[in-house]
């Protein structure tokens, strides 16, 4: 079935780049997503990528998709303390509309 996996923790220093990785199993996924959740807050849609793309850039965020290896990554350039949050990778379940399959989330800690 569908499954999404991420490492649980990542710690970086302010100003460095952060790379959060994700693997998924459903090769028919058409959309893949990154959501951000700050403590006590909701889920913020950061960015998404369509499966026919290899890369998408949006300001400090770069998403890379390796469809062959079913690997998705989110790179945050010049990481700031305000980027500290949990980042969720998600794939849209095949033929099931808005059913998102989420990873367990990567907690990013940014140290000054």
Partner 1 sequence: DTAVSQTPKYLVTQMGNDKSIKCEQNLGHDTMYWYKQDSKKFLKIMFSYNNKELIINETVPNRFSPKSPDKAHLNLHINSLELGDSAVYFCASSPDRNGNTIYFGEGSWLTVV
Site residues for partner 1 per CB under 8 A: 31, 33, 35, 37, 41-45, 48, 86, 88, 90, 92, 96-100, 102, 104-105
Spatial neighbors of 64 by CB under 8 A, at least 6 apart, are 54, 55, 72, 73, 75
Give the separation between CA 105 and CA 20, rounded to whole angstroms.
Answer: 10
Q: Which is nearer to partner 1, 43 or 64 (CB)?
A: 43
Distance in Å, CB of 26 to partner 1, minimum: 15
Q: Which is nearer to partner 1, 82 or 112 (CB)?
A: 82
Q: Which is nearer to partner 1, 97 or 112 (CB)?
A: 97
Q: Which is nearer to partner 1, 24 or 88 (CB)?
A: 88
Distance in Å, CB of 106 to partner 1, minimum: 10
Q: At 35, is the secondary structure helix, strand, or coil? A: strand
Distance in Å, CB of 63 to partner 1, minimum: 14
CA distances from 86 to 23, 41, 80 (A): 17, 10, 14
Q: At 94, is the secondary structure helix, strand, or coil? A: coil
């Amino acid at each position: 079935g569908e499954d999404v996996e991420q490492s649980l923790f990542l710690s970086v220093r302010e100003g460095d780049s952060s790379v959060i990785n994700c693997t998924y199993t459903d090769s028919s996924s058409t959309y893949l997503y990154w959501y951000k959740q700050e403590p006590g807050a909701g889920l913020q849609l950061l960015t998404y990528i369509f499966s026919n793309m290899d890369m998408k850039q949006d300001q400090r965020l770069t998403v890379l998709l390796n469809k062959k290896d079913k690997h998705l990554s989110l790179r945050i350039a010049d990481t700031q303390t305000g980027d500290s949050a949990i980042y969720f990778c998600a794939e849209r379940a095949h033929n099931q509309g808005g059913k998102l399959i989420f990873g367990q989330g990567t907690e990013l800690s940014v140290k000054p």
